Structure 1
Amino acid sequence: MGRAEARRARQRGARRAEKSGGGIRRFFTWRKLLGTFFGFCLLAMGAFYVVYLMVPVPGPNPEAELQSNIYKYSDGTILARSGKVNRSMVDIDEIPKPVQDAFVAAENKTFYEDHGVDIKGTARGVINTLTGRGKQGGSTITQQYVKNYYLDQSQTVSRKLKELVISLKVDQRKEKPEILEGYLNTSYFGRGAYGIQAAAQAYYGVDADKLTVEQAAYLAALLQAPSQYDWTSATDTSKKLVTERWNYVLNNMVEENWLDAAKRSGMTFPVPQKPKGAPGMEGQTGYLVEAANQELMRQNEDIKEEDLKAGGWTITLNIDKKRQKELEEAVKQQLEDQLDRKGNKVDATVQAGATSVDPKTGRVVALYGGVGATEHWVSNATRRDYQPASTFKPLVFASALENGSETQDGRQIGVNTRYDGTSKRPVEGSDTPFAPENEDDVSYGPVTVQRAMNKSINSVFAQMIVDVGPAKVKKTALALGMRDGEAFVERPAMSLGTMGASTWDMAGVYATLDNHGKKVTPSIVKSAEHKDRTVRLVEQSGDQVVSRETADTVTSVLTGVVKNGSGHEANTSAYAAAGKTGTSENNKAAWFAAYTPELATVVALFGEDAEKGTQVTLTGTANSGRANGGGFPARIWADYTLDALGGGSDAEFDLDVAETASPDPEPSQSTSSSPSTSATPSDKPSEPSHTPSSTPPTRTPSTPTTPTSPTPPTPTSPTPTPTDGGTGGDTDPDPGTDPGSLDDKPIRQ
């Protein structure tokens, strides 16, 4: 090939290459690219329009309109409303304009001008979701309202697209104030508070219409991270962040001319209050509601806490509204009005608890859990961390009767069986040494079981539990209604009530004795209804757990304690009563457990250092020395019972006793270290009688004159130191003296 041909060939190749490149350039011209882009946009807009038409505005999600639980008194009147969502809806007109502005400044300054969506923010959220880089940001108030009220909190592309579409529709259909109202009522603020009203109460203890601008700015800032920004539990870093956010909100308000700059410069950060119980649970209400919830869950394993929080329950309690009020008033008048909780360190530690039960049905008709559920959440009515002390002694005697037990010298134990009441007398027949000291180290010599119960003589019941057998006594106690536990140890010290128990437990035990030995299980729930559940309730009265003769004999003895013993503060001609006092070691708890034929009630005082979480002595309560069971608890019991029975009752105990109870009379005794001796026929007194008063008594029951008791003799027997612990007993004051005089005696430490 010549040079000319080669040149022509190169030129033809170049032209072909030029034609090829020019074709690609002609295909990707800017006009075609622009047309393709607009075509894609039109296609996307068409697709979005189809989605817009297909996606309706749904109804509210279940969370947005969760029902509260309704709790009622036994007569059907409303006690409380509660549920999973602590929410109280408020109209936008009830929310001050500056408070509204604070939230708009924090979340969406263009709220009043936009069309309900933030395209950039939504696009960013979609990209973040697709790439796994976390939650979206930049949503408008309308979008957040739609998410809270119509959708859910899931982070998916489909949910975000629905949010966008529904937000546009909602913005068209609703006015801005209505949208803002919905947003403020559905947002979660932490502390279990949903909505601005619940948040205002939870963080500042005021209603939404009383919020200041500073407080509103904090709540608005809080929405970004409720748990992290809660000031009372926040880290230093979180406190710094929420403070910066608070300043950001206020500065935005100034920028939008919603807040005067001069006023803004003088504002300081409003530290919120410490968390409290849910609104509506103040006073005794929270204790009653919690007791009902716990009972429902205990009786129905398929009912969980989350089920109750979900709402929709109508729960009627056995609580008698009138008796509940009377119990609260009795505690106030007989105890709280006597205390100086702010000026007296001992008074500040006093906790009162009480449970009142109908012995025929087991219904808990009144309950006192403490000073208030939002101030002291632990219910003093149901707590089991204190010893019941000498209120356990009747159970030792009941077990002796039920088992036909005998003394060490072979005599069957009964009401008039004599025991040695010498203080610090070592028990006989036990592998575990035990020599308990009586109250104030008083020795009584030979005494009947009746007198030992009246005087709550420790040494007698320590020997009796050995005679019966600790294991048998525990079995009887559990059958009567006490709860087992690590502290319920089968040894002689158990006779002094060294295990843990609640007023609820002991009310059931004493109600069972009142019910002639037929088991009574305290129950606070009368009925529980839910459209999606079937609820069963246990029988409140059950089997015969001890014989009628045993129960009635114990009742007969306990009437003597009220008439002539440590429970004399409850004695009145207005009603028949049987009961027992109890004061635990170091005076950390004081009890009075007693009943009439119609009502069984247990009242207790506990010494508690709430800050340290420790039990402390009650000595010095109301500047009156020792707070024994025969003092404040007995007076509260008497005050309440008198009114609960309508000023009194003619009902009598219908007793089938094994042996006639002795109200008190005893021959003179001399101290003896020998084992108990048999009672002579002349020592057996007649059964006590009860004559109701024809005149209704005043609120405070009358106190009769107690027959003169013999002077306790000086012990001559050895007095070894107890090796198994011990619990102080309760003694009645000497006749003719001020019942409170015992309080001046030093307590055994």
Structure 2
Amino acid sequence: MGRAEERRARQRGGRRAAPKGRRSSGAAGRGGIRRLFTWKKILGTFFGLCLLGMGAFIVLYMVIDIPEGNADAELQGNVYKYSDGSIMARRGYNREIVDLAKVPKDVQRTFVAAENKSFYKDSGVDLKGTARGLLNTVSGKGAQGGSTITQQYVKNYYLTQEQTVTRKLKELVISLKLDREKSKDYILAGYINTSYYGRGAYGIQAAAQAYYRVDAEDLTVEQGAYLAALLQAPNQYDWAIASDTGKKLAQERWNYVLDNMVEEKWLDGADRRGMKFPVPKEPKAVPGMEGQTGYLVEAANAALKQQLVAQGVAEDTKQADAMLDLGGYTITLNIDKKKQKALEEAVKEKLTSRLDPDKREVDADVQAGAASVDPKTGAVLAMYGGVDYVKHYRNNATRDDYQAASTFKPVILAAAVDQDAETQDGVPITANTIYDGTSERPVMDGGKEVGFAPPNEDDVNYDDITVQEAMNKSVNSVFAQMGIDVGMTEVVETAGELGMETEGMPPVPAQTLGSMGASPLEMAGVYATLANHGKKVTPAIVKSVEHKDRAVEFPDPIGEQVISREAADTVTSVLTGVVDDGTARVSVKDNPLRDGQDVAGKTGTSDNNKSAWFTGFTPGLVTSVGLFGEDDKSGTQVPMYRAAGVDYRVNGGGPPAEIWAAYTFGVMGEVTEFDLDTKQGNAVKKPSSSPSVSQSPSGTPSDEPTSEAPTTEAPPETSAPPSSAPPSSQPPTSEPPVDPTISTSPTFELPGGPEDPGGDEEQQ
């Protein structure tokens, strides 16, 4: 090639280079993207994916057949055992299949109105709902509503409750096939006969009997609407055990069902307006659940379902319900058969045998609940839920709707000692610290009144009094001030650490009088933590669970140190004074079966005598006994004055303490002693020298503070009503009496000893 030709070639290359550089800088690049993502290509890709999805679905449709009924849907029960392995109870399915023709047409439609208004028109699936469910499953958001009746029936009868993409795809295909091959009546019959309605009832016939004591063919539209509403949340909407919120939601769901029926022209609007909510009847226990057995089985079921959710085996309580009711579990409880029998006999001997509703109407309103726990292991060894599971469905041992009253006072002292709290005048709070026990004395915080001045029981004045004696006599004014001294936030935190449910418990002074609700099982756990030297004890009803398809492991009931040993042991030491010198003296201290056994405990009597408590313990056994006033017909809380033949007030030092003593001393075996790491309280032998003077909250030194154990005795448990002997305002003397048989208490008599009104009165 000549030079001219080379030059022309370079020129041609240069002319090409410039345009190439310009294309790479912008316009040409965009043009390339446009050529890569054209509308034709996007639409083509979309339709291609749709065709691919349709092809895959067609393959699935051809491959997946309607299976036989799921093996899990076959009848299968659960077995419940005592701690020694002996059989306590067996529970199986409560189901009776009925033809759809026997179910009134209007009642059939309540289920359609509740779950799937388009049931009679759709193809068996809700594509939007299924797509939403698939997305939620993939994203980990859990189960969501939106399935048709056909899909729910397929899930109940042909598949499992697991939430996976594979299961949902199978559900979709089988639902489409089932809708093509079977009639709507066949599908609806299967749905209402396999669904779970709560109360152990499977199918509409069992549900009709469980809730209204009628056969399915005799159900009204109103009753049918309630049963249909139940399917959304059987336990939450069960009127017998529902909370106020649950009852409200159940009624809203019931209204929703009937309104949908009107909308679909299945119910006349005028008839709808005249309908009233059909309150279901109280539950009737299935055979074999009589006496205490039903309470124990249901408590074990509740614990197992809670653990299934906590362990991640079930996504929520509804799924846990379904898994448990499918059966196949062998559940061994911690219940000791001998102790269980002894607790039942103690309640019968000291309470139920004395109740005579024909003679005293109030006796029909007395309910008892108790729980007994081993503080070393956390095992619930015995439980008393009520007179009979068949007659009284609600478990009194686990109910938490009655005030804890003065059984809360030890929690305040525990917080004080654990936090090294001081009085308003900077004096450390100990068993010997002196407070002003004047009734209705304004509680002070930093020199200012906090607007709280609780009365003592029967408005008794104690003037200067030690913390030990204030616990013995359950002096409200002292512990109200102590709560402020410690800090109510710290008191509530300590309560939670010890095992109380503190959600929704505001840190206000009124809580010092035990105005919060609590259950005997809950309080047994709190006192078990004290007995276990401050290491957390969570009462455990279940010992072990076996199932062929899954393992269920329960956490150790014994937890970490939540308060110091010194704090726990100090409270225990102080609580021995309640037994030996205070409100439980008559029932416990002088019991001939005690035989020198070390005992600590606390009584409690709530406002207007609606509840009465004794929670006490030995080194190896903690038991909480509660008596509750519950109207025999309405279920509302009522007073128990003069119940069981007492002269006036049913105090914690009366029947509850008597039940506790009869049970505990009957099963305790060898006499044991507390091993306490403390130098405070009634259980500690006091030195002869006097301590330095401490200040009362008012800033006035006590005249003669002493480290001697209080010698004043509580008034007898069964004395006359306060009105028969007006209380004296003369404070108890701190000097020992010359004659040890003479009490230095005020010269008046009280039923059960001075106790607090529990928290309502001072809030009025």
> Which TM bucket (shorter chain)?
0.5 to 0.7
Q: Does 1:639 align with 2:639?
A: no
Name the amino acid aligned to 2:656.
Answer: P
Tell me, in whole angstroms, the C-alpha distance in 1 between the residues paired with 2:529 and 2:705: 32
Name the amino acid aligned to 1:626.
Answer: R
Counterpart of 1:453 (choices 466, 471, 478) is 471
Q: Report the equivalent of 1:402.
A: 418
Q: Report the equivalent of 1:434.
A: 452
Tell me, in whole angstroms, the C-alpha distance in 2 between the residues paired with 1:59 and 1:470: 62
SS at match of 1:346: helix
SS at match of 1:590: strand
CA contact (8 A) 1:383 1:502 kept: yes
Q: Report the equivalent of 1:51.
A: none
Deviation at 1:392, TM superposition (A): 0.7
Tell me, in whole angstroms, the C-alpha distance in 1 between the residues paired with 2:727 and 2:528: 34
Name the amino acid aligned to 1:635.
Answer: E
Q: Does 1:584 align with 2:606?
A: yes
Tell me, in whole angstroms, the C-alpha distance in 1 between the residues paired with 2:578 and 2:413: 14
Tell me, in whole angstroms, the C-alpha distance in 1 between the residues paired with 2:75 and 2:539: 32
CA contact (8 A) 2:424 2:697 kept: no
Q: How many residues align?
A: 548
Counterpart of 1:276 (choices 274, 277, 284) is 284
**Cα 1:579–1:341 shift into 2, 3 Å:** same
SS at match of 2:657: helix
SS at match of 1:542: strand
Q: Report the equivalent of 1:659.
A: 680
Tell me, in whole angstroms, the C-alpha distance in 1 between the residues paired with 2:336 and 2:537: 18
SS at match of 1:615: coil
Tell me, in whole angstroms, the C-alpha distance in 2 between the residues paired with 1:627 and 1:588: 9
Name the amino acid aligned to 1:629.
Answer: G
CA contact (8 A) 2:468 2:681 kept: no
SS at match of 2:497: helix
**Cα 1:192–1:391 shift into 2, 3 Å:** closer
Q: Report the equivalent of 2:308.
A: 300
CA contact (8 A) 1:450 1:663 kept: no
SS at match of 1:300: helix
**Cα 1:221–1:504 shift into 2, 3 Å:** closer
Name the amino acid aligned to 1:428.
Answer: M
Deviation at 1:682, TM superposition (A): 4.7
Deviation at 1:542, TM superposition (A): 1.0
Instruction: Please give the per-residue CA displacement for 1:713-745, whole angstroms capped at 9, x wherever unaligned.
Output: 6269xxxxxxxxxxxxxxx99799999576999
Q: Report the equivalent of 2:533.
A: 516
Counterpart of 1:650 (choices 648, 671, 691) is 671
Tell me, in whole angstroms, the C-alpha distance in 2 between the residues paired with 1:80 and 1:87: 18
Tell me, in whole angstroms, the C-alpha distance in 2 between the residues paired with 1:652 and 1:395: 22
Q: Does 1:349 align with 2:368?
A: no
**Cα 1:333–1:326 shift into 2, 3 Å:** same
**Cα 1:651–1:590 shift into 2, 3 Å:** same
Q: Report the equivalent of 2:729.
A: 714
CA contact (8 A) 2:403 2:515 kept: yes
- The aligned runs of 1:619-638 (5 Å cut-off) are 619-624=641-646, 625-638=648-661
Q: Does 1:290 align with 2:311?
A: no
Q: Report the equivalent of 1:478.
A: 496
CA contact (8 A) 1:626 1:745 kept: no
CA contact (8 A) 1:421 1:460 kept: yes
Deviation at 1:613, TM superposition (A): 4.1
Counterpart of 1:415 (choices 423, 431, 448) is 431
Tell me, in whole angstroms, the C-alpha distance in 1 between the residues paired with 2:355 and 2:466: 38
Q: Report the equivalent of 2:508.
A: 491
- The aligned runs of 1:374-413 (5 Å cut-off) are 374-413=390-429
Deviation at 1:222, TM superposition (A): 8.0
- The aligned runs of 1:140-155 (5 Å cut-off) are none
Tell me, in whole angstroms, the C-alpha distance in 1 between the residues paired with 2:501 and 2:226: 43
Tell me, in whole angstroms, the C-alpha distance in 1 between the residues paired with 2:544 and 2:401: 29
Deviation at 1:77, TM superposition (A): 1.2
SS at match of 1:292: helix
Tell me, in whole angstroms, the C-alpha distance in 1 between the residues paired with 2:507 and 2:212: 52
- The aligned runs of 1:87-166 (5 Å cut-off) are none
- The aligned runs of 1:212-251 (5 Å cut-off) are none
Name the amino acid aligned to 1:661.
Answer: N
Deviation at 1:485, TM superposition (A): 3.0
Name the amino acid aligned to 1:436.
Answer: P
Moved more, 515-524 or 468-477: 468-477
Q: Does 1:77 align with 2:86?
A: yes
SS at match of 2:630: strand
Deviation at 1:520, TM superposition (A): 0.7
Deviation at 1:585, TM superposition (A): 1.2
**Cα 1:739–1:433 shift into 2, 3 Å:** closer
**Cα 1:742–1:451 shift into 2, 3 Å:** closer
Tell me, in whole angstroms, the C-alpha distance in 1 between the residues paired with 2:552 and 2:676: 37
SS at match of 2:672: coil
Q: Does 1:548 align with 2:569?
A: no
SS at match of 2:518: coil
TM-score by length of 1: 0.62
Counterpart of 1:527 (choices 544, 552, 560) is 544
Tell me, in whole angstroms, the C-alpha distance in 1 between the residues paired with 2:372 and 2:441: 37
**Cα 1:433–1:735 shift into 2, 3 Å:** closer
Deviation at 1:290, TM superposition (A): 1.8
CA contact (8 A) 2:438 2:477 kept: yes
**Cα 1:588–1:130 shift into 2, 3 Å:** closer
Tell me, in whole angstroms, the C-alpha distance in 2 between the residues paired with 1:482 and 1:638: 24
**Bigger Cα Rg:** 1
Counterpart of 2:384 (choices 359, 365, 368) is 368
Tell me, in whole angstroms, the C-alpha distance in 2 between the residues paired with 1:274 and 1:466: 44
Counterpart of 2:328 (choices 312, 319, 339) is 312
CA contact (8 A) 2:439 2:455 kept: yes
Q: Report the equivalent of 2:350.
A: 334
Tell me, in whole angstroms, the C-alpha distance in 2 between the residues paired with 1:130 and 1:604: 54
Name the amino acid aligned to 1:684.
Answer: E
CA contact (8 A) 1:450 1:662 kept: no
SS at match of 2:386: coil
Instruction: Please give the per-residue CA displacement for 1:323-378, whole angstroms capped at 9, x wherever unaligned.
Output: 11111111111111111235533112111111110000111111111122232222
Deviation at 1:282, TM superposition (A): 2.3
SS at match of 2:435: strand
Deviation at 1:677, TM superposition (A): 3.1
Deviation at 1:679, TM superposition (A): 8.0
Deviation at 1:299, TM superposition (A): 3.0
Tell me, in whole angstroms, the C-alpha distance in 2 between the residues paired with 1:398 and 1:564: 20
**Cα 1:678–1:431 shift into 2, 3 Å:** closer
Name the amino acid aligned to 2:509.
Answer: P
Name the amino acid aligned to 1:714.
Answer: S
Moved more, 578-587 or 530-539: 530-539
SS at match of 2:331: strand
Instruction: Please give the per-residue CA displacement for 1:118-166, whole angstroms capped at 9, x wherever unaligned.
Output: xxxxxxxxxxx999899xxxxxxxxxxxx9x998999988799799xxx
What is the alpha-carbon root mean square deviation over aligned residues?
A: 5.1
CA contact (8 A) 1:608 1:615 kept: yes
Tell me, in whole angstroms, the C-alpha distance in 2 between the residues paired with 1:714 and 1:686: 19
Tell me, in whole angstroms, the C-alpha distance in 2 between the residues paired with 1:578 and 1:274: 39
Moved more, 299-308 or 401-410: 299-308
Tell me, in whole angstroms, the C-alpha distance in 2 between the residues paired with 1:547 and 1:188: 51
Tell me, in whole angstroms, the C-alpha distance in 1 between the residues paired with 2:746 and 2:710: 21
Tell me, in whole angstroms, the C-alpha distance in 2 between the residues paired with 1:195 and 1:427: 59
Q: Report the equivalent of 1:256.
A: none
Deviation at 1:491, TM superposition (A): 2.1
TM-score by length of 2: 0.61
Name the amino acid aligned to 1:562.
Answer: V
Percent identity of the aligned residues?
51
SS at match of 1:391: helix
CA contact (8 A) 1:396 1:465 kept: yes
Q: Unaligned regions of 5+ residues in structure 1, if any?
A: 1-55, 90-102, 108-128, 135-146, 164-182, 206-214, 239-271, 688-701, 704-710, 717-731
Deviation at 1:63, TM superposition (A): 5.8
Deviation at 1:566, TM superposition (A): 0.4
CA contact (8 A) 1:422 1:715 kept: no
CA contact (8 A) 1:387 1:584 kept: yes
Deviation at 1:227, TM superposition (A): 5.0
